[in-house]
Structure 1
Amino acid sequence: MRWRCVTGGLLVVMGLAVVHAALEHDEPIIGVDLDGNLFINTSSSADGHTRRLLLNGVDVLRELTELRQKCAGNVPRTTTTAPSTVAASTAMPVSYTGTVGCQLESVPSNVTHLFGNVSLSFCPLLTAESLKVFNELVYVSGDLKIELNTNLTNVDGLGSITSVGDSFFINSNDALINVAGVGNITSVGGDVDIRYNEALVNVDGLGSITSVGGYLSIFSNPVLDNVDGLRSITDVGGYLSIRANAALTNVDGLGSITIVRGYLGIYGNDALTNVDGLGNITSVEGTLHICSNSQLDTSTVPESVRSLGTCQVITSENCMTC
């Protein structure tokens, strides 16, 4: 005999059976009406004991009672999930392809990835406010150049950029005091060139850069007194040049660099008094020039530095070829 419960009712499936009524008397308890309907009447006896109805030895009434209880536990339940109070993020990357110049109107205000160059060169109307169009920009595949902008005081609008695929130049911006706004850039695939910035007092904004794929040049920034912002760079893929920075007193910010894959030149820095920051460099693949630094006592140049490069020129006098 097989029993099943289904949603919405009770289904009893029975195989062929022989009906046995366990009776003390011959009172009929099973009958069929004129329409062929089968009736099974009460089987309770006069003495109060419950009679059993057996089909092929199975106590049908007890089985039905147990089945009804089981099916009652299978009633479908409706569950309600409390609605989330946190809005799902709908922000999607926004790409722009092409070279961006002084006219920024065509750049989507929420651009995140720029495939091309950003060349903000000689843009007389460019201000720090103008750069806010790049507030969400995280990647530039080509060059990022900010040059010859007389009214630019900071680059805070570039604060989301983490990677520059090619070169990164900040040159000849007369009012630019610092580059703190590019503090999230970690890698530059090409050159890093910081030069001719009359008011630039530090390069601390470069502190997250760990590798430079091309050359690294800090040239002719007259009030720059340290290069501590270069402290995270370990590898320079081209030459390394620190030149003609009149207020620079030390190069301690170069202390993490271990490899220079071109020449190393420290020259024309009139206030420079030590080059201890070069002490961790283990390899220079080009020439070594430490010269024309009028305040530097060349006898204090670390011994480990003196043997670097394919040839060495270490003197307080004018630089010479070797």
Structure 2
Amino acid sequence: MKKSGVFFVGLLLWFNCFSQSCLPEGIIFETQAQIDSFPINYPGCTMIEGSVQIRGAEITNLLGLGSLTRINGFLFINGNDNLTDLTGLNNLTTPGGRLAIWGNIGLQSLHGLESLDSIHGDLLIYDNNVLSSLDGLDNLVYIESSLDIGYFIFEHPLLSNISALSNLSYVGVDVIIWSNIALENLQGLEGLSQINNDFILYNNSSLNSLAGLENITKITNHLEIGQNYQLENFSGLENLDSIGGCLTISDNHLLSNISALSNLQTISGCIYICENENLQSLEGLENIDSINLLCRIGNNNVLPNLQGLNGLTYIDGDLSIIANVNMNSYAGLDNLVSISGKLALNSNGLIQNLSDFSNLRNIGGSLVIHFNNALTSLSGLEGIDSLGNGLTITSNHNLMELDSLIHLKSVGGEIIIDNNKWLTSLHGLDSISAGSISDLSITNNDSLTECAIQSICDYLISPNGNIDIRFNKTSCRTRQEVETSCLTGIEEPLTNTNPTSIKIYHNTSSDLLFIENAEIISRSQVSVFNMNSQELIQQEITLPTTAINISHLPKGYYFIRFSSDSLVKVFKIVKR
């Protein structure tokens, strides 16, 4: 019994002697001599309490660090031009912080990290010019923060696979794989079922498959897939169910479809699909019924329509459809009811009308229709009754009329009508309340002759901002011409078999309209119309002088019609 006790005490003393921590302040290795002398200078040290940086152009191996099982701080391995692998770290199971391996121009493999099972920080692998695989990370299971494989200065020209990550089952924050120009697929990520922040696949110019992502069902923030020039489809993402942020698909030159996203149910942020020059369809997004923030679809050269967005009813932000040169319809937006922000329809060269917006009822921001060369009418916008931040219709060279905006009553900002070559009339904007217009610009519309509509005339009486009217056709060339047109149109008596003197005048101080006639004419009445021929007031005339209260009418131009069995006279007044 006494011998056993002595043996136990001896073993404990040996363990304390030969298994211990050191360097609470950390250490920087800059020479091979420092590496080689580590076991001599720190005998029995298996755990460095602080952080470790290995950076030295003359360092060729890490064999002197073979006793280390743990580093409590970060581990940086960078700028080691002659280091070819990480042999020597074979017993290291975990760094307590970030593991960053970058700028090692001779590093060919990560052999030496086979015991590594967890990283309590980020794993960053950057700028290792001749690294061809991640072999050595085969037993890595857990990354507390982000996985980031890419470059700051140099691309990874030889990294062709990441299959060594096949045991990885958890990444706590981002997965970012970028500028690995030899990487062809993502096999090695099969153990991940959820991305806990952003998932970014960017500028992997040889990536032709998303194989390896089959088990991912959820991305809690953004999914960005861009500049992967060989990627033709999204096969591998068939089980993705939700994206908590934005979906960005941009500049993937061979991408023809995104149908593999057909199980995607929610996108809680924006959609940005731009510059995919061979994208032929948005089918795969049918289950998305609402989008928060921006929806932008632009510069997809062969995209013919928006089929695939058929389930979309609400956008809590802007919708911009821009520079899709072969888009011939907006089919796919047939069920869209409300946009809380701006609707911008710009440079979609084959669109002739807006009939696919027939169910749209609300635009909370501005409506911008710009440079759509085939557009001849705005039919499809009949359901819009208000805008939140202005109306801009510019450089639509074949647009001939605005009649489909006839139910628009408020614009909430400026009106800009510019450079619409064949537009002849502003009819369609008649019902807009002048008080909802801030600035007014009507310029460079070569065929425009009818500007004197109710809303414009009313606005010119009491403008709320700047006015710019010029370079249009006769009657619309200047503000003065439009104001003159607003004052014309007084109708002469149609019949006058019983001549009498009818006088109508407006007392501005009391807001009363007085009608005087020398004698009572049987069955006489007076009516007040706006310039859209809507009858606003009707009253019988029974006395030589009749007063009508028009204080409830907004400022503007009005027609006053006096009629009887033998006389009809029409006057025009301005309520200022």
User: TM-score normalised to the size of structure 1?
Assistant: 0.65
Secondary structure (helix, strand or coil) at the match of 2:248 reads: strand
1:100 maps to a residue whose letter is V
TM superposition shift of 1:291: 2.5
Maintained 8 Å contact 1:298/1:315: no
2:224 maps to a residue whose letter is K
Alignment of 1:118 with 2:199, yes or no, is yes
TM superposition shift of 1:233: 1.0
- The share of aligned pairs that are identical, in percent, is 26
Runs of at least 5 residues in structure 2 that lack an aligned partner in the other structure: 1-168, 398-415, 419-438, 440-576
Alignment of 1:287 with 2:366, yes or no, is yes
Maintained 8 Å contact 1:306/1:312: no
Q: Distance in 2 between matches of 1:118 and 1:275?
A: 36
User: TM-score normalised to the size of structure 2?
Assistant: 0.37
TM superposition shift of 1:299: 4.8
Alignment of 1:142 with 2:221, yes or no, is yes
Q: Distance in 1 between matches of 2:249 and 2:273?
A: 5
Runs of at least 5 residues in structure 1 that lack an aligned partner in the other structure: 1-93
Q: Distance in 1 between matches of 2:237 and 2:305?
A: 23
Q: Distance in 2 between matches of 1:159 and 1:225?
A: 24
TM superposition shift of 1:105: 7.0
Structure 1 match to 2:171: 96
Q: 238, 241, 247: which is aligned to 1:159?
A: 238
How many residue pairs end up in the alignment?
A: 227
Structure 1 match to 2:327: 248
Distance 1:96 1:275, change over 3 A: same
1:123 maps to a residue whose letter is N
Distance 1:278 1:242, change over 3 A: same
2:345 maps to a residue whose letter is I
2:228 maps to a residue whose letter is N
Maintained 8 Å contact 1:249/1:274: no
Distance 1:107 1:283, change over 3 A: farther
Structure 1 match to 2:263: 184
Secondary structure (helix, strand or coil) at the match of 2:375 reads: coil
TM superposition shift of 1:98: 2.5
Q: 211, 218, 230: which is aligned to 2:290?
A: 211
Could you list the per-position Cα deviations for residues 205-242 of structure 1 after superposition, in whole angstroms to 9, with x for gaps in the alignment?
21121111111111010100010111111111110011
Structure 1 match to 2:317: 238
Secondary structure (helix, strand or coil) at the match of 1:132 reads: coil
2:198 maps to a residue whose letter is N
Maintained 8 Å contact 1:96/1:108: no
Moved more, 166-175 or 254-263: 254-263
Structure 2 match to 1:69: none
Q: Distance in 1 between matches of 2:417 and 2:175?
A: 41
Q: 334, 342, 348: which is aligned to 1:263?
A: 342
Secondary structure (helix, strand or coil) at the match of 1:277 reads: helix
Maintained 8 Å contact 2:298/2:322: yes
Q: Distance in 2 between matches of 1:117 and 1:106?
A: 19
CA RMSD of aligned residues (A): 2.2
TM superposition shift of 1:261: 1.3
How does 1:273-284 map onto structure 2 within 5 Å? 273-284=352-363
TM superposition shift of 1:173: 0.1
Q: Distance in 1 between matches of 2:224 and 2:380?
A: 34
Distance 1:105 1:173, change over 3 A: closer
Q: Distance in 2 between matches of 1:100 and 1:299?
A: 45
Which fold has the larger relative contact order, with Cα–Cα distance below 8 Å and residues 6 or more apart in sequence?
1
1:144 maps to a residue whose letter is L
TM superposition shift of 1:179: 0.7
